[in-house]
């Protein structure tokens, strides 16, 4: 089952790490964009090709070190259909490398519409007498603003297809508290969402002991992590905001259970654009993928040290 | 400017109506799917072709009656890249017909990610020395859960490009109240969001008197419409939930200002699948587009009667 597969991969790699495949043009080394533009021109197709080649280099360099990747679909969707082709190619390649794929799509709508997102991203869509799995991620991130009937269609598909969702609880951005922290009957909104996550995931718990309905809680809010770890004992917590957004290894402790499980930490630009930061600039643009590999190794050590220190 | 353009079109058509282009396979007449499958097989490409031909028929039949359309991207995205090609074709065709396009994408993320969605859907993306407008909707719907820094990048692009956003406030689905209705310091979440909408849109008000930051409030909650009409006097309210979801003309009164402006009502399956309902079945599957036209005319009358009755 999916959660057991994720847990096994985390244990095997000793790396509760997700690499965020969030390509921005400014991250992509010139030798890659030049080659793509030479072939396709400075077009959306050229941008898609550059993104894909860039991703492929990173995936080849890090796939044996990590359990999972999290492509942020917005970074592809901004290039339209051509960008989404690169998204799909990236998903397919990650699947070939046996990585767990978290589609960071943050979708969520009324029931019938969420059902369409769910079949498109996690399930199968019917076309006449045939079925297809158009994107086929393992997990999708989901926005809870619309409440249970906007989330349930995703959960239904998860049960049918052995897939998972990760629901936004407390996001890593500076103004996340504007609505998420507001008290409702003495409890912040994020805690109400967390309690619903327990309900939504209740009958999706597999042999790992974790449910297929996880939660996003930002590394930038460790105190919230501490609370939410207790509120949602059966949910894996996806922790964005490590690295570039300011979260540090020591901040992550509260997100994990005693056994070192229960959380998986995302880093995007800290890994995929490592070569642009002072710590890894010695790799140079040509060595961007090696820089990413070293950044994963260092992140793994940072988290392991933090977990060992408690 | 955009809001003036929308208001003028509403006044000219006397129809504060948006047609929701939310194609589901079960809505598409057999003669269209058969033709598409004959050409492309029962494939994702075939589904995309069927959707596009179905949409084209409806657009041709109703474009002179209405100011705006609202394609729901999920209904295309569920067919993967091929579905999104049909989405793009639909947008381009609606633009040719001079319709205002509301991309119902309900995106929203941390700042840098919302910026990517904003350029992809409303603005222009840079590729080397060139720029492209990949989707180029006029409006996009936005989910506010992440707070100001998740919404601001959309507003920035709106200002640059004369585009608009419509933020989820109180959605039309049955469980929307789960989080949206909860009281925070005595006010429901949707009202807090509404007040933020005033801030976000404050310097986007054009000669129409309306701001480029609108709000979604479901027809299924007329009492909320009454309150929110006062809370956000400068925002257009997009009202989903009319027709198939249960909202009626009389329920809509509260969403409009005294002058009959300030709201635009969406109907999706009630129009695009009209031929499948008892009231319009006489048109038959071959006449599905004519049925849609008649349904628009009837909806226009229903709303006009309701507005005249007050």
Render pLDDT for B250-260 as a digit per residue (tens, 0 to 9).
889 999 999 89
> Which pair of tokens denotes residue A129?
């007498």
Res. B2 pLDDT band, cuts 50 70 90 = very high
pTM: 0.98
What pLDDT sits at residue A250? 84
Q: Looking at per-residue confidence, does A256 or B310 come out higher? A: A256
> Which pair of tokens denotes residue B172?
């039309």
**Distance between CA atoms of residues A266 and A66, nearest Å:** 11
Res. B310 pLDDT band, cuts 50 70 90 = confident
Contact A145, B83 (CB under 8 A): no
Question: A309 — contact with chain B (CB < 8 Å)?
Answer: no
Question: A305 — contact with chain B (CB < 8 Å)?
Answer: no
| Min Cα separation A293/chain B (Å) | 24
What pLDDT sits at residue A139? 99
**Distance between CA atoms of residues A54 and A34, nearest Å:** 12
Q: Is residue B210 predicted with pLDDT exceeding 80? A: yes
B43: chain A residues, CB-CB within 8 Å: 127, 130, 132
Contact A236, A205 (CB under 8 A): no
Catalytic residue among A88, A106, A152, A187: A106
Of A127, A183, A189, the CB nearest to B44: A127
Of A22, A127, A183, the CB nearest to B46: A127
3-state secondary structure chain A: CHHHHHHHHHHHHCCCEEECCCCCHHHCCHHHHHHHHHHHCCCHHHHHHHHHHHHHHHHHHHCCCCCEECCECHHHHCCHHHHHHHHHHHHHHHHHCCCEEEEEEEECCCHHHHHHHHHHHCCCEEECCEEECCCCCCEEEECCCCCHHHHHHHHHHHHHHCCEEEEEEECCCHHHHHHHCCEECCEEHHHHHHHHHHHHHHHHCCCCCCCCEEEEECCCCHHHHHHHHHHCCCCCEEECCECCCCECHHHHHHHCCCCCCCEEEEECHHHHCHHHCHHHHHHCCCCHHHHHHHHHHHHHHHHHHHHHCC
B184: chain A residues, CB-CB within 8 Å: 182-184, 189
Number of A:B CB contacts under 8 A? 222
Q: Is residue B248 predicted with pLDDT exceeding 90? A: no
Interface test with B, best of A132, A146, A215 (most B CBs within 10 A): A146
**Distance between CA atoms of residues B127 and B130, nearest Å:** 5
Render pLDDT for A38-95 as a digit per residue (tens, 0 to 9).
999 999 999 999 999 999 999 999 999 999 999 999 999 999 999 999 999 999 999 9
B74: chain A residues, CB-CB within 8 Å: 107, 109, 113-114, 116-117, 120
Strands B100-107 and B68-69 turn out to be: parallel
What pLDDT sits at residue A249? 82
* Residue ranges of chain A whose pLDDT lies below 50: none
Return the sign of the alpha-carbon dihedral for residues A181, A169, B189, B146: positive
A193: chain B residues, CB-CB within 8 Å: 179
Going from the C-alpha of A180 to that of each of A49, A76, B177, the distances in angstroms are 38, 27, 15
| Min Cα separation B263/chain A (Å) | 20
Contact B127 A168 (CB under 8 A): no
Burial A99-138 (b: 16+ CB within 10 A, else e): bbbbbbbbbbbbbbbbbbbbbbbbbbbebbeeebebbbbb
Q: Is residue B128 predicted with pLDDT exceeding 80? A: yes
Closest listed residue to residue B18, CA positions, set B136, B114, B126, B99:
B99
For A38, other C-beta atoms within 10 Å of its C-beta total 9
- Give the DSSP per-residue string, chain B: -HHHHHHHHHHHHT--EEE-----GGGS-HHHHHHHHHHH-SSHHHHHHHHHHHHHHHHHHHTTT-SEE--BTHHHHTTHHHHHHHHHHHHHHHHHTT-EEEEEEEE--SHHHHHHHHHHHTS-EEETTEEE-SS--SEEEE--TT-HHHHHHHHHHHHHHT-EEEEEEE-SSGGGHHHHT-EETTEEHHHHHHHHHHHHHGGG--TTS-EEEEEEE-TT-HHHHHHHHHH-TTEEEEE--BGGGSB-GGGGGGGS-TTS-SEEEEESHHHHTGGGSGGGGGGTTTTHHHHHHHHHHHHHHHHHHHHHT-
Interface test with A, best of B45, B116, B221 (most A CBs within 10 A): B116
Render pLDDT for B166-209 as a digit per residue (tens, 0 to 9).
999 999 999 999 999 999 999 999 999 999 999 999 999 999 99
Could you tell me if residue A40 is left (phi over 0), alpha (psi between -120 and 50 degrees) or otherwise beta?
Answer: alpha
What pLDDT sits at residue B114? 98
The mean pLDDT value of chain B amounts to 97
What pLDDT sits at residue A248? 78
What pLDDT sits at residue A162? 98
Of A79, A179, A196, the CB nearest to B145: A179
**Distance between CA atoms of residues A49 and B61, nearest Å:** 39
Name the one residue in this structure whose structure tokens are 């967390």: A194
What pLDDT sits at residue B309? 87
**Distance between CA atoms of residues B299 and B310, nearest Å:** 18
Name the one residue in this structure whose structure tokens are 């329920």: B251
* ipTM for the predicted complex: 0.98
Of B79, B83, B171, the CB nearest to A146: B171
Contact A148 B178 (CB under 8 A): yes
Q: Is residue B243 predicted with pLDDT exceeding 90? A: no
Question: A267 — contact with chain B (CB < 8 Å)?
Answer: no
B112: chain A residues, CB-CB within 8 Å: 24
Give the residue numbers of B marked as catalytic.
Answer: 106
């Amino acid at each position: 089952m999916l959660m057991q597969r994720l847990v096994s991969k985390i244990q095997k790699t000793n790396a509760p790490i997700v690499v965020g495949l969030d390509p921005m043009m400014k991250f992509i080394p010139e030798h890659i964009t030049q080659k793509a533009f030479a072939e396709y021109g400075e077009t959306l197709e050229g941008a898609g090709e550059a993104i894909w080649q860039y991703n492929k280099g990173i995936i080849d360099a890090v796939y044996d070190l990590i359990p999972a990747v999290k492509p942020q679909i917005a970074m592809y969707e901004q290039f339209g259909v051509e960008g989404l082709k690169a998204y799909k190619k990236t998903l397919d390649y990650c699947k070939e490398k046996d990585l767990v794929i978290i589609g960071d799509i943050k979708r969520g709508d009324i029931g019938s519409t969420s059902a369409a997102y769910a079949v498109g991203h996690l399930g199968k869509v019917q076309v006449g007498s045939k079925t297809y799995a158009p994107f086929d991620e393992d997990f999708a991130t989901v926005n809870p603003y619309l409440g249970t009937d906007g989330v349930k269609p995703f959960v239904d598909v998860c049960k049918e297809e052995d897939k998972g969702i990760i629901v936004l609880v407390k996001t890593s951005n500076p103004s996340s508290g504007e609505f998420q922290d507001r008290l409702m009957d003495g409890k912040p909104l994020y805690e109400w969402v967390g309690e619903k996550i327990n309900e939504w995931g209740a009958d999706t718990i597999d042999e790992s002991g974790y449910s297929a309905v996880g939660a996003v809680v930002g590394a930038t809010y460790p105190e919230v992590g501490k609370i939410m770890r207790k509120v949602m004992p059966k949910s894996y917590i996806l922790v964005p905001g490590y690295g570039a957004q300011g979260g540090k290894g020591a901040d992550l402790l509260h997100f994990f259970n005693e056994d070192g499980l229960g959380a998986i930490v995302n880093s995007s630009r800290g890994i995929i654009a490592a070569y642009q930061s002072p710590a890894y600039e010695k790799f140079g643009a040509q060595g961007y993928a090696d820089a990413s590999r070293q950044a994963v190794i260092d992140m793994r050590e940072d988290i392991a040290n933090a977990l060992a220190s408690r």
